[in-house]
Structure 1
Amino acid sequence: MTEPRPGGYSNAELTALIAQAHAELRLGDDEQHQLLRGHTNAVVRIGPAVIKIARKGTAAEAVERTIALVRWLQDHDFPTVPLHPHAEQPLRLTGGALATVWTYYPQPPEPVTATDLAAPLFALHRLPAPPVPVRALDNLRAIRRSLAATRTLDTDELSFLTDRADRLEHALTRVQYALAPGIVQGDPQHRNALHDTAGDRTVLCDWDTLAHGQPEWDLVTVEIHCRRFGHDPNEWSGFAAAYGLDITTWPGYETLRDIRELRMITTNARKAAHTPGSLSEVQRRIKGLREQEHGLLWSIL
């Protein structure tokens, strides 16, 4: 079986980067490291700190922009996991690797629910424009980039996904949005949020996807995660009630739903060559699209 490559790094490369980060942060020798996530970036806990090593090849400007935006969020007392206060940002590691350093929040047994996401997302969508340039959210452009870079699907699968993108791009021109554009998280979901240390509010994390766009994209993303990944149906109804809008009753819902699901599939198709075991799940999702199985449960990748 192909060796998993968290963040695009081999096990040997990642081990060396973690050791370097450990030394530069001057953490005690008794602090063990724990890989928390490794699909896109490599996210590693070392004692009181969480090190997020950007995917191999990530531009320094992108990492620096994320740091500036999170500092702006912190200045606005926004509920975000904070950058570690005593660490250089970004941490510059061997071979041009870059890492951000965050405060570790131990979590209670109760996981974050979709309902918990409503308050911070509502607040995010109403923030003023930040002083840092923010990219425009463009899901269709991201889909086409992924399709152009995908080497794991056959011609028929690629043709099906490309035709679907074409039809959805045309449908999107007819969508009339209900909300004012603003700052969006880009990928709000259960795994991109934590309980804070006091346990009385939910804080968002993983800000690499922050963008300027329509809040409806964030709302439909939460709905997809609730429906596709087997969460209690009450989570979605609780989120919609707490946020104040049920996106599934909005006329543009189906178009945004289909585009957002297509992006989730094509992103994982592009990464499948470096993520052992994910191709079969991608192909199962594509089959579900062909058969219009909107209730098909997906496996987390």
Structure 2
Amino acid sequence: MPPSLEDMTDPHLPGGYTGDELTTLITHACRELGLDGTSPRMLRGHTNAVVRLGDTVLKIARKGTAPQTVERTVALVRWLQDHNFPTVPLHPRTPQPARLTGEALATVWTYYPQPAEPVTAADLAAPLATLHRLPAPRIPVRQLDNLTAIRRSLTAINTLDPETLHFLTTRADRLEHALSKVEYALEPGIVQGDPQHRNALHDPAGGRTVLCDWDTIAHGQPEWDLVTVEIHCRRFGHGHRHWTDFATAYGLDITAWPGYPVLRDIRELRMITTNARKAAHTPGSLCEVQRRIKGMRENEDGLLWNIL
């Protein structure tokens, strides 16, 4: 195994696994699924452990993930593929999901080499618009509920002081009341849940942008997807032009919609509380979480965030 996998230390647990555990899981996957273990390379590790293995990508679900969660994601991605939706495809010759050693579950995807030019926000517009127009699948789909996710994180956070937790809880209460008065502009449908530059890839053969990372797929209001794109453009340094190009391509500028401030504040609160909950396993992220909370207290809507 290369150093990037062997030298994993406990403060940086990709998917909640130690370096030794990951080595065992990857070795098992290569042996049982016929994957190329010559030069494994970690692609992501903040939530799940995502590893490139030759022409495939092995996505090991976070430790403790319920099997039905992974099974639902696989079923929905297959449904998307049946509708010719632009998604990174599941690897066709691998049983999905794959059970590795112990309780670990994984999915295997086709690897897409990427050009030097990164995906832009405008590239997300066409696949998102298509997604939002798809008919409801017969497969059960969870309902998107950002406030419930926020409250779940608040009860699990052990890295923040009581006063800060009270501030975040009070903010959630206020935003829940404000949300009850929002009148949506779009029809509900299938949403990606976390559309952003890092959850999309260039399809080198098809010459199009495809979406990936479907753990957050849900049924809900498309406005949540649009607000999420806007937040990523504003908070992570992509610039205002990225957002205006997306809004033009999609056909709606969500920032001009009256409900935008409420959805924006809820979505940003979820991003903060989710990372605060994970900070116990990724200690280096706590400083950034606290910086974001300070900016929230001071209403710094233009504060740039560091990617966690």
Supply the distance in 1 between the matched residues of 2:283 and 2:197 (Cα, whole angstroms).
23
Identify the match of residue 287 of structure 2 among 275, 280, 283: 280
Indicate yes or no: 2:128 matched with 1:121: yes
Q: 1:1-301 maps to which residues of 2 (within 5 A)? A: 3-28=11-36, 31-198=38-205, 200-301=207-308
Q: Bigger CA drift: 39-48 or 19-28?
A: 19-28
Instruction: Note the alpha carbon deviations across 1:141-199, whole angstroms, 9 max, x for none.
Output: 00000000000000111000000000000000110000000000000000000000226
Residue 135 of structure 1 aligns to a residue in which SS? coil
Aligned length: 300
Supply the distance in 2 between the matched residues of 1:276 and 1:110 (Cα, whole angstroms).
32
Instruction: Note the alpha carbon deviations across 1:115-159, whole angstroms, 9 max, x for none.
Output: 000000000000000111000000000000000000000011100
TM-score by length of 1: 0.98
Q: Using the aligned pairs only, state the percent identity.
A: 76
**8 Å contact kept, 2:36–2:53:** no
**8 Å contact kept, 2:224–2:263:** yes
- Tell me which amino acid in the other structure corresponds to 1:169: E
Change (3 A) 1:284 1:36: same
- Tell me which amino acid in the other structure corresponds to 2:246: F
Residue 47 of structure 2 aligns to a residue in which SS? coil
Instruction: Note the alpha carbon deviations across 1:252-289, whole angstroms, 9 max, x for none.
Output: 00000000000000000000000120000000000000
- Tell me which amino acid in the other structure corresponds to 1:3: P
Task: Give the RMSD, CA atoms, in angstroms.
Answer: 1.0
Instruction: Note the alpha carbon deviations across 1:228-255, whole angstroms, 9 max, x for none.
Output: 0000321100000000000000000000
**8 Å contact kept, 1:140–1:259:** yes
Supply the distance in 1 between the matched residues of 2:201 and 2:31 (Cα, whole angstroms).
27
- Tell me which amino acid in the other structure corresponds to 2:44: R
Supply the distance in 2 between the matched residues of 1:161 and 1:194 (Cα, whole angstroms).
34
Instruction: Note the alpha carbon deviations across 1:87-112, whole angstroms, 9 max, x for none.
Output: 11111011110000000000000000
Supply the distance in 1 between the matched residues of 2:183 and 2:204 (Cα, whole angstroms).
40
Residue 102 of structure 2 aligns to a residue in which SS? helix
Unaligned runs of 5+ in 1: none
Residue 94 of structure 1 aligns to a residue in which SS? coil
- Tell me which amino acid in the other structure corresponds to 2:232: H
Residue 273 of structure 1 aligns to a residue in which SS? coil
Supply the distance in 1 between the matched residues of 2:268 and 2:10 (Cα, whole angstroms).
27
Supply the distance in 2 between the matched residues of 1:256 and 1:212 (Cα, whole angstroms).
16
